[in-house]
């Protein structure tokens, strides 16, 4: 463990209690050692119960945040901030009975992040149907609102070979055309460039898709003509390395995609389906625009796999490695 360098603790909000997150966390920590201290915010009782059931034995220590010098934490154990959750009185299924517990975990994380600028955040999967419900489109928007960054964040699914970013996230397709604008595209691209500049000292090469098939519409004027092309023209004048709009059915072909660091699409599945096909679990979800760095594994709760010890920890390992640099 480093003794002279400043540590950068990684907060881990476990998220949905009835998910495979604890399992992949056990697997990630069982065979990997990370440089920075890891602080789990979760029910210690539920964590220990699942660890026992799956026959793991990780060294843990309960943390009293009021009396902790975070600069003195090491990487030899997993620190746990205990959040009470009476799982014995709830069904072992995802429901809104977990909402208060999840919100409390995030509230603790936000308090720590507010007062410790060197902290980063990982969160486990959250149920969009129950915890987010109709209040937020996703965790990206939930965190944006909690940090006064509404409409000022972007989702980046990051892989070192190729990343993708949707302009709109968890929207029904019928609503997408109403929720894209030149301003939104410009802000989105600015956040991506800033991230690559700060993290990798790189001006990224960005491709952007159209909205309609083949970037065409049967109507007199298309979103490509009204919104996307003007945004690209504006960004090129500002010296951004951006090209498009490209038809989404060809941009991910190998000879095309290898020219770019990031492909930006107009809606969620337009870019997430191809990136998952290309890289599987070897990608992480990063929220750009927050006052701290937040990443999460790129998968959901997957309750059907709970307790089977068959889930793949690759995405969580990549998230931890990314924040541990």
Rounded to the nearest 10 degrees, the angle between the axes of helix 182-200 and helix 229-237 is 40
Same domain, 189 and 82: no
Same domain, 3 and 146: yes
DSSP 238-288: TT--EEEEE-TTTTTSHHHHTT-SEEEESSHHHHHHHHHHHHTT--EEEEE
Same domain, 44 and 172: no
Q: Report whether 149 contacts 269 (CB < 8 A).
A: no
Same domain, 96 and 52: yes
Distance CA 229, CA 212 (A): 13
Same domain, 263 and 317: no
Q: What is the pLDDT of residue 89?
A: 67
**Both structure tokens of 131:** 């915890």
Question: What are the CA-CA distances from residue 22 to residues 10, 35, 173, 230 (Å)?
Answer: 16, 20, 33, 46
**Both structure tokens of 90:** 């709830």
Residues 251-264: what's their mean pLDDT? 94
Percentage, residues of the chain above pLDDT 90: 60
Q: What is the pLDDT of residue 2?
A: 41
Which of the pair, 92 or 111, is modelled with greater confidence?
Answer: 111
Same domain, 99 and 221: no
Percentage, residues of the chain above pLDDT 70: 95
Same domain, 138 and 194: no
Annotate 56-85 with three-state secondary structure. CCCCEEECCHHHCCHHHCCCCCEEEEECCC
Same domain, 13 and 93: yes
CATH number at residue 248: 3.40.718.10
Q: Report whether 38 contacts 80 (CB < 8 A).
A: no
Same domain, 70 and 196: no
- Does residue 180 surpass a pLDDT of 70? yes
pTM of the predicted model as reported, rounded to 2 decimal places: 0.87
Distance CA 231, CA 226 (A): 9
Residues 310-324: what's their mean pLDDT? 89
What's the domain count of the chain?
A: 2
Reference 192, options 230, 153, 231; nearest CA is 153
Same domain, 135 and 13: yes
- Does residue 3 surpass a pLDDT of 50? no
CA angle 140, 141, 143 (to 5 degrees): 70
Determine the structural domain holding residue 259 and report its residue range. Answer: 157-280
Distance of CA 55 to the CA centre of its chain: 29
Burial grade of 171 (CB within 10 A; 0-12, 13-18, 19 or more):
middle
**Both structure tokens of 98:** 């977990």
Distance of CA 283 to the CA centre of its chain: 10
Which of the pair, 260 or 20, is modelled with greater confidence?
Answer: 260
**Both structure tokens of 158:** 């990051």
Distance CA 279, CA 283 (A): 7
pLDDT tens track for 40-57: 999 999 999 999 999 999
């Amino acid at each position: 463990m480093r003794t002279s360098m400043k540590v950068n603790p990684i907060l881990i909000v476990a998220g949905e209690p009835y998910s495979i997150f604890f399992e992949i966390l056990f697997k990630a920590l069982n065979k990997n050692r990370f440089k920075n201290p890891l602080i789990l915010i979760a029910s210690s009782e539920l964590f220990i119960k699942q660890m026992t059931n799956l026959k793991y034995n990780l060294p843990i220590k309960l943390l009293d945040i009021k009396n902790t010098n975070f600069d003195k934490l090491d990487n030899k154990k997993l620190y746990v901030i205990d959040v009470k959750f009476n799982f014995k009185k709830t069904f072992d299924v995802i429901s809104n009975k977990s909402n208060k517990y999840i919100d409390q975990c995030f509230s603790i994380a936000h308090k720590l992040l507010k007062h410790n600028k060197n902290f980063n955040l990982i969160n486990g999967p959250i149920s969009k149907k129950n915890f987010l419900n109709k209040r937020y489109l996703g965790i990206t928007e939930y965190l944006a609102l909690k940090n006064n960054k509404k409409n000022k964040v972007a989702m980046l699914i990051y892989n070192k070979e190729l990343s993708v970013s949707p302009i709109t996230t968890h929207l029904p397709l019928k609503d997408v055309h109403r929720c894209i604008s030149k301003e939104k595209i410009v802000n989105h691209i600015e956040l991506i460039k800033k991230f690559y500049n700060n993290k990798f000292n790189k001006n990224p090469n960005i491709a952007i898709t159209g909205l309609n098939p083949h970037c065409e519409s049967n109507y007199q004027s298309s979103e490509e003509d009204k919104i996307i092309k003007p945004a690209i023209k504006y960004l090129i004048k500002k010296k951004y390395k951006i090209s498009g709009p490209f038809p989404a059915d060809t941009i991910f072909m190998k000879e095309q995609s290898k020219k770019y660091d990031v492909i930006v699409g107009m809606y969620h599945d337009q870019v997430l389906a191809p990136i998952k096909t290309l890289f599987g679990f070897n990608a992480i979800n990063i929220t750009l625009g927050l006052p701290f760095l937040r990443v999460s594994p790129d998968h959901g709760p997957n309750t059907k796999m709970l307790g089977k010890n068959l889930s793949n920890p690759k995405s969580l390992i990549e998230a931890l490695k990314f924040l541990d640099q």
